[in-house]
Amino acid sequence: MNDLEKEIALYLDGEMTPEQLLIFEEKINNDTQLQQDIATHKEMNSTYDEANWNTVGPTTKNQKISAYEAFLKSEEGKTIATSIKNAERAYFKTKPRSKVKKLLLYSASIAAVFVIVFFVISQLNTHDPQNLYAEYKNWNDLPSLTSRDSNTELAEAEKLFRQQKYKASLAIFTQYHQAVGPKDMNPQILTYMGVTQLELDQHETAIKTFETLLHSNTLDAPKANWYLALTYLKMNDPEKAKEILNNIIGDPGNDHYQNAKELIDELK
Amino acid sequence: MTNKKYDDFLLHSLITGNEVGIVEIYKKVYPKVLNYVLKHDGSEDDAKDVMQKALLQLSARAQVKEFHITSSFEGYLFTTCKNVWRREVKISKSRVTNNEVIDLVHEEREIALAAFEQEKWELFQEKLLEVSENCQKILTYFFNKTPYRKIAKALGYATENTVRQRIFKCKAKLKEAIQSDSRYHELKEL
């Protein structure tokens, strides 16, 4: 097993401590093979993820791109583009005409089918755990660290978080969290850490962070259940999410009691 | 006409701009594209746009280099269309998240970039088939963000840690397979 592979994974997942990151970035600067390996790993991550796509920058230079572009801009390319447009027009023109009688006869039933299909699709979409996650996550509700703490580093981390620069903000939160002992643990920092990890798709790490919050002896501990439920939704595990939401519903004093009730109904 | 001959006729129509042949392509593939785009949060206009872009992309690739489709033309074009839609979604999402005014890239360049990315995607798919079947399975789960505990359960690994170790090894093998292919170096971004 190559330790370098592990380091690359930690680096790409944003899971390095600030110290590890400094050392590793120095290593990258001095090692062209490592630079290439990181580039290939990044491409692998986006190419093989079916919900993603590996895009290249708009100014990327490569012989093939230039050749394709030259063809598309040429007279020949323009002629093909026109033929495709003409064919498209012809296809849409002839398609309804040939079926006009059928369409008239069955228009009512077709309309009904469409209504049903769209209803089903919209129901499916709304009840999709990941859609529900997007609907229910509301990071604007997180307490502001600027007013509660004079620590400018934390204020900066919050600013980065609000700008969705999650990797950079996580580095600061993690550093801060590690610097204070478990006794002085700040539940709000833990919440930000967990949410940031969640946004970075570091699901397993986020669960650990929220579980630490849950088992902490702080007033914010019960809130961890809500974040854990959201994490499982994002991970497409509605059963586990429901299990946790039921814990919240059992505690009407929980800040997220109402949200949990609504969400569990949507998941039924 | 045999399937192979029919496929050749469709591809040839696209290369030469034969409108009768291109209408045939629409008849075969467009309903599937429409269905796919609608299912993935797009509209009918999006589906039309995807189809046009995929056809232009394919035409450009076939003009520049002799082109062989190992599967069926219909399947190949449909895969290209799906990827064009994935690309559109990713680009529009990044426009929203970055909150920046991004210069609109000229249409021809956009299609050229998409063709380049599609070529790279095809190479990566081919390379994935070169690692062991077990690696293919575990990596497919991993790249699609399946939690480690679920992978362990699905593939019968004792612990999450064993899954992690296996993923490291498989990723290293796959990376090696990709980097040792000369086509990967032709597809490098400068």
For tokens 């995929």, what's the residue? B54
Looking at residues A35-41, what average pLDDT do you find?
Answer: 94
Residue type for position B44? E
Chain B residues touching A80 at Cβ < 8 A: 14-15, 17, 56, 59
For tokens 């290369």, what's the residue? B15
Tokens of A1: 């097993």
What's the CA gap between B69 and B7, in Å, rounded? 9
What's the CA gap between A53 and A43, in Å, rounded? 9
Residue type for position A89? R
What's the CA gap between A198 and B187, in Å, rounded? 33
Taking 90 as the threshold, does the pLDDT of residue A116 lie above it? no
Q: Is the pTM of this model over 0.90?
A: no
Interface test with B, best of A61, A66, A84, A200 (most B CBs within 10 A): A84
CA-nearest residue to B118 within chain A is A54
Tokens of A95: 């398609």
pLDDT at residue number A126: 53
Q: Do B51 and A1 count as a contact with CB atoms less than 8 A apart?
A: no
Q: Residue B165: helix, strand or coil by DSSP? A: helix
pLDDT at residue number A98: 47
Quick: pLDDT tens for B118-170.
Answer: 999 999 999 999 999 999 999 999 999 999 999 999 999 999 999 999 999 99
Task: Write the secondary structure of B77-134 as one string of H (helix), E (strand) and C (coil).
Answer: HHHHHHHHHHHHHHHHHHHHHHCCCCCCCCHHHHHHHHHHHHHHHHHHHHHHCCCCHH
Of A61, A67, A81, the CB nearest to B64: A67
Q: Which helix (H) or strand (E) holds A184?
A: none
Quick: pLDDT tens for B36-48.
Answer: 999 999 999 999 9
What's the CA gap between A43 and A151, in Å, rounded? 38
Cα pseudo-dihedral A202, A206, A208, A210, rounded to 10: 180
Residue type for position B134? N
Residue type for position A13? D
Quick: pLDDT tens for A143-159.
Answer: 877 755 567 888 888 88
For tokens 């049903």, what's the residue? A116
Q: Do A68 and B26 count as a contact with CB atoms less than 8 A apart?
A: no
Angle ∠(B47,B33,B68) on CA atoms, nearest 5: 115
What φ, ψ does residue A138 adopt, rounded to 5°? -140, 90
For tokens 């970039």, what's the residue? B113
What's the CA gap between A109 and B178, in Å, rounded? 52
Taking 90 as the threshold, does the pLDDT of residue A104 lie above it? no
What's the CA gap between B126 and A33, in Å, rounded? 23
CA A26 to chain B, closest CA, distance in angstroms equals 22
What's the CA gap between A113 and A58, in Å, rounded? 43
What's the CA gap between B52 and B47, in Å, rounded? 9
Tokens of B1: 């006409």
Q: Residue A161: helix, strand or coil by DSSP? A: helix
Contact A128, A241 (CB under 8 A): no
What's the CA gap between A225 and A214, in Å, rounded? 7
CB hemisphere CA count around B4 (13 angstroms): 2
pLDDT at residue number A110: 61
Contacts of A82 (CB under 8 A, 6+ apart): B17
Taking 90 as the threshold, does the pLDDT of residue A73 lie above it? yes
Higher pLDDT, A141 or B184: B184
Interface test with B, best of A32, A34, A73, A80 (most B CBs within 10 A): A80
What's the CA gap between B188 and B185, in Å, rounded? 5
For tokens 């796509």, what's the residue? A53
What proportion of chain B, given as a percentage, has pLDDT over 90? 79
Higher pLDDT, B18 or B96: B18
Tokens of A48: 């093989």
CA B90 to chain A, closest CA, distance in angstroms equals 7
What proportion of chain A, given as a percentage, has pLDDT over 90? 35
Quick: pLDDT tens for A208-265.
Answer: 999 988 888 777 888 899 999 999 988 988 889 998 998 888 887 777 888 888 888 8
What's the CA gap between B36 and B71, in Å, rounded? 20
Tokens of A47: 């190419």
CA B101 to chain A, closest CA, distance in angstroms equals 14
Secondary structure letter of residue A144 according to DSSP: P
What's the CA gap between A226 and A223, in Å, rounded? 6
Residue ranges of alpha helices (H) inside A60-165 are 63-73, 75-98, 100-127, 129-136, 145-148, 152-162
pLDDT at residue number A118: 58
Q: Do B168 and A5 count as a contact with CB atoms less than 8 A apart?
A: yes
Contact A143, A195 (CB under 8 A): no
What's the CA gap between B158 and A171, in Å, rounded? 32
Taking 80 as the threshold, does the pLDDT of residue A127 lie above it? no
Of A50, A72, A201, the CB nearest to B56: A72
Taking 60 as the threshold, does the pLDDT of residue B100 lie above it? no
